[in-house]
Amino acid sequence: QVQLVESGGGLVQPGGSLRLSCAASGSIFSGYAMGWFRQAPGKQRELVATITSGGRSTGYVDSVKGRFTISRDNAKNTVYLQMNSLKPEDTAVYYCNTNSGRLVWGQGTQVTVSS
């Protein structure tokens, strides 16, 4: 069973940057299109960025376009989310999973944007 471990979150001021990582166990990782999700307090989990299995195509929700960049390194079984120009509304727990959320969810990593 593939396990997902997210890391890289923290407290950052508005306008700052963070780079999240998601390490996946299991050799089948490279066959999955992956996504980064986030869940803010009192809100549903939302998909914010996606990347195809080979990494050639990406997609973003409008609220993060131009600020977030998703990438992956299949040799390391890792997917990344570079987050720039962070805003307080980006505060959430961030998770990675396949685009359809078919894998067991990891613990996520907390991102807090506050002055």
At 2-28, the pLDDT tens digits run: 899 999 999 999 999 999 999 998 767
Q: How far does CA 93 lie from the centroid of its chain?
A: 10
Residues ≥6 apart with Cβ < 8 Å to 113: 12, 13, 14, 16, 86, 87, 88, 89, 90, 91
Burial environment of residue 91 by CB neighbours within 10 A (0 to 12, 13 to 18, 19 or more): middle
Q: Is the pLDDT of residue 47 over 80?
A: yes
* C-beta separation of 62 from 70 below 8 A: no
**Other beta carbons less than 10 A from residue 51's beta carbon:** 23
* Mean pLDDT in residue range 102-111: 95
Q: What is the pLDDT of residue 27?
A: 64
3-state secondary structure of 89: helix
